[in-house]
Structure 1
Amino acid sequence: MRVRQKLFDKSLLSIGEGDKRLSVFSLAMPIFFENVGVHLIGLIQTSLSSRFLDGFFVTPTGIATSTLSFLATVSGMVITGMNILLSIYLGKNREEDCKKIIGTAFIGFYLFRLMIFGLGFVFAKELLSLQGMSTEENISRLGYAVTYFRCQCVIMTVFSVTSVLVAALRCYGYTKAGLVSSISSSAVTLILTYVGLYVRNTSENEVVPVLVSVSAVAYFVSFAFVLFLFFKRRMSFKLAFKADWLKKILRLGFPANISMIMYTLSTVITASICVYLSGEMYMARLFVLQLVCFTNQLGYSVGQANSIMVGRGCGMGEFEFVNEMYKQNLKITLASNLLFSSLAAAFAPLLLRIFTDDINVIAIGVVVMWIDVFVEMGRGMNHLGQFGLNATGDTVYTTVVSVLSCWLISVGIGYLLSVALGFGIYGLWAACAADEIFRGVLYNLRWKNGRWKARFIREEKELE
């Protein structure tokens, strides 16, 4: 495939022929709108919660949710490995093997979820206490947090199959499946949350049962939509546990997922630091995160699409095309992250009033939003670099870089700046920016020197 050197080359936007043709934007835009829709619903839910009973449930549900996110990331190594392996084998047109990969991932992912969330259920109180729920300010809300957390552990385990179906559909290029299921379930969540909290005048003791019931309904709606779309596309799998396939999945998924686990754990720790610093800083952090998650969504979606196409392209042997495509997608990601993060920072005083009228929280949030512009620039490089390298099987490198950077910079320097030197949440965010930029630069240097090609060829031989 001939690659032309241009500032922007349309020929780099797609790969493959006929019904197997993949396009960056046809893959990325459904993911983008899916995530924006989900985050928009989350933003509205946070706004509703922050103004219900004077925000009494914001901290317990927020800490419980961040812990659930960490556990989900830990159990996600099967999904990560399946994504990488499936993209490569689709590039080789090995359909029968793809069915075995999906079937093995079904069973493997469910077993991992059962184990991880089972441990979370048992040690719920201890996990939440470590993150600040046992402080004098929050101890009265610990019981609510534990109940909410345990119920969510059960729900997320029961409906774990949805994650496998969505991931498989994306690898085949059907990214609209995630869009439809996520937005529909999120809309259900929004409507039922509003009705449950405000229309029926829910009391304090009824809040957790209402939120849990809403979550269960939303997960069921998502599962039903995805299952329907999976069979509508006439996709199939062989539901059988194959140890060899699981070994291959984990061989790729474990190192790739370690980096995500370390990153998620570092965010849990920084959230805990905010809880101990002050209630205002924790609230500001929560509200800022609800806003800045929108600023990197186009870049994140392009990164996801890029990884699918990298895996497919490498499987086809189109290394030159993959390299040039990556460079162009990096430009798109950096430009979008800079634009959206700058706009969000400029309008931060207005945006933060969605959640609160507290002038102290708003003042803290405005400064953090401007620091976050630098975070998003580094994050853009990360999304392209890490996802792209993982798609080639170069997962060990991304893992080492991520683990060292997260702990030495994000957590280590973050603690030094925020607590030891007294910069508070501003120090945490500055350290986060340094972490993201450091990792992004190293990932892109790795891509530039071309070692990922040799890594892919070696992985390809070992996976046979």
Structure 2
Amino acid sequence: MKLELRQIKYVTVSLLEKYFTGESIEYKKIFEIIIPIFVDQTFLILMSLLNTAMISSAGVAAVSAVSMVDSLNIFLANVFIAVATGGTVIVAQYKGNGNAAMVSRTATQAITAATIFSVITSVIVIIFYTPILNILFGKAEAEVFYNAKIYLIGSCLSYPLIAIFQAVNGSLRGVGNTKPCLKLSLLFNLTNTILNVVLISIFNLGVEGLVISTIVARILGTATSLIYIVRFNESIHFRLKNGLRIDYLILKKIMFIGLPFAAEQIFFNGGKLLTQTFIVDLGTLALTAFAIANSLAMLFQIGPNALGISSVTVVGQCIGRRNIQDARKFTQSLLGFSTILFIIAAAVLLPLFPLLIKMYNPPDEIIQTIFTMILISAIAQPIVWSQSFIMPSALRAAGDSNFTSIASLLSMWLIRVVLGYILGITLGFGIIGVWVAMIVEWGTRGIIFVWRFKGKKWYAHKLV
């Protein structure tokens, strides 16, 4: 038995050294980055799953409203999260370059920029929330629309909080300091979930309870993250007075990555929102089925999502050292590892579908539709998801932000939106047609990114 364990350990270490060790970083350091992010993503998605299940107790109108507004929230929040991602890339490259002073200055400016973008976004949406909802979801039922208004306003109030939180975590990930990110995220998500249990499940406050718990959890998470980088972190050295001054030279580098990514997120998630309007036309049950299927599909993506986030740090530090060979090697290794994780997730989660679906208590007539959607994505994800999502993260970490953004926008609008309408509405395949169009778009985008990765232009940008 001991001999077998030693053999397994030897084979495992050999594989890790072969695929995850290079001149820039060794496998132990890479997995020190990956594991906390994986645990963080696990809790994040499980909490999201639990929250969606809890709000379902308030009825299909509440689920549909939260799903609708969350699509808009993702659309808006990704603008300032994109800016924070620009900070992560530059921080990672300066870390790889060994410039500690610029690591600190870049992280500070990333937090400042994300805060400014989020405040502007919040003010605009709060002022124009009624016409925005009318344009996007005017055909929704009255009860769904009312719940959507409450949830959107509450979400807007918390945008600056989540922007600061994401910018702090992004900077910490850039230097490879992922354990504090895990602790901060756990505090935020556990607080949010506990409050949801109290306010939604016990006091039956529905969407109002969801809004209160979100704001309180984000206040706590943001305050804790700022206290950590001001008093306890030795890499960032954040000072409020430095954050109040704008360093245009650093900001320009952050925006070189962040603005194309922000534009991508605006138009990419705008395409998702437009697709959502197709689903609204299909009725509340279709909208509920789509919301539940999306929630369950995230379970399959826990591991690969963690690898995508980790790739920004790993590849960014390799590029900071100008070690292109390692950047290529680790990107390919992360893609392969992601495929393995998808296969494992499908093998574990598909048999558990009858148990998982009970958490949502959906109407019987949509359960088969939800299962069909999950089965389609479970088959497709090991083949196309990683190239479509992890690969652009690696390209962006090398500074190739313009190409990745343009490719993502074109694939979204020319394939997912147009094909989704043709399959779902014109040809009458309904929600399944919209779902299949999403999978086809993943595959197309992945082919484009693999082609780019095989060339030399993606690492030609010199940012630090």
Are 2:72 and 1:73 aligned? no
1:13 to 20, 43, 61: 20
Are 2:213 and 1:214 aligned? yes
What is the TM-score when the length of structure 2 is the normalising length? 0.89
Q: Mapping of 1:76-87 within 5 angstroms?
A: 76-87=81-92
Report the equivalent of 1:3.
none
Q: Mapping of 1:86-235 within 5 angstroms?
A: 86-132=91-137, 134-135=138-139, 138-200=141-203, 202=204, 206-230=205-229, 231-234=231-234, 235=236
| Equivalent pair of 1:193/1:214 in contact (CA under 8 Å) | yes
Shift of 1:158: 4.2
Aligned equivalents of 1:357, 1:282: Cα separation in 2: 12
Q: Mapping of 1:262-301 within 5 angstroms?
A: 262-301=267-306
Report Cα offsets for 1:34-68 as digits up to 9, x if no partner. Answer: 1111111121121111123x333212222122211
What secondary structure, in the 3-state scheme, does the structure 2 residue paired with 1:56 have?
helix
Q: Mapping of 1:309-348 within 5 angstroms?
A: 309-341=314-346, 343-348=348-353
1:121 corresponds to which letter in structure 2? I
Shift of 1:290: 1.0
Runs of at least 5 residues in structure 1 that lack an aligned partner in the other structure: 1-5
What is the TM-score when the length of structure 1 is the normalising length? 0.89
Change in 2 beyond 3 A, CA 1:347/1:45? same
Are 2:447 and 1:437 aligned? no
Report the equivalent of 2:420.
414
Runs of at least 5 residues in structure 2 that lack an aligned partner in the other structure: 1-12
Between stretches 116-125 and 417-426, larger displacement belongs to 116-125
Shift of 1:266: 2.1
Between stretches 271-280 and 259-268, larger displacement belongs to 259-268
1:445 corresponds to which letter in structure 2? W
Shift of 1:128: 2.0
Aligned equivalents of 1:222, 1:14: Cα separation in 2: 34
Aligned equivalents of 1:211, 1:297: Cα separation in 2: 23
Change in 2 beyond 3 A, CA 1:110/1:330? same
What secondary structure, in the 3-state scheme, does the structure 1 residue paired with 2:299 have?
coil
Report the equivalent of 1:353.
358
Report Cα offsets for 1:73-106 as digits up to 9, x if no partner. Answer: 1223321211111111111111212222122222
Q: Mapping of 1:9-88 within 5 angstroms?
A: 9-14=16-21, 23-52=29-58, 54-88=59-93
2:214 corresponds to which letter in structure 1? S
1:438 corresponds to which letter in structure 2? T
| Equivalent pair of 1:121/1:153 in contact (CA under 8 Å) | yes
Shift of 1:404: 0.8
Report the equivalent of 2:8.
none
What secondary structure, in the 3-state scheme, does the structure 1 residue paired with 2:300 have?
coil
Between stretches 444-453 and 295-304, larger displacement belongs to 444-453
Aligned equivalents of 2:456, 2:28: Cα separation in 1: 23
Aligned equivalents of 1:255, 1:408: Cα separation in 2: 19
Shift of 1:408: 0.8
Change in 2 beyond 3 A, CA 1:159/1:438? closer
Are 2:368 and 1:363 aligned? yes
Identity of aligned residues (%): 21
| Equivalent pair of 2:61/2:284 in contact (CA under 8 Å) | no
Report Cα offsets for 1:13-36 as digits up to 9, x if no partner. Answer: 256789x99723221121111111
Shift of 1:406: 0.5
Number of residue pairs aligned between Structure 1 and Structure 2: 445
Shift of 1:286: 0.7
Change in 2 beyond 3 A, CA 1:148/1:448? same
| Equivalent pair of 2:268/2:412 in contact (CA under 8 Å) | yes
What secondary structure, in the 3-state scheme, does the structure 1 residue paired with 2:39 have?
helix
1:370 corresponds to which letter in structure 2? L
Cα root mean square deviation, aligned: 2.3
| Equivalent pair of 1:389/1:452 in contact (CA under 8 Å) | yes
Change in 2 beyond 3 A, CA 1:14/1:241? farther
| Equivalent pair of 1:89/1:97 in contact (CA under 8 Å) | yes
Shift of 1:228: 4.0
Report Cα offsets for 1:408-458 as digits up to 9, x if no partner. Answer: 1111111100000001111111111111011112211211233323x2xxx
| Equivalent pair of 1:41/1:190 in contact (CA under 8 Å) | yes
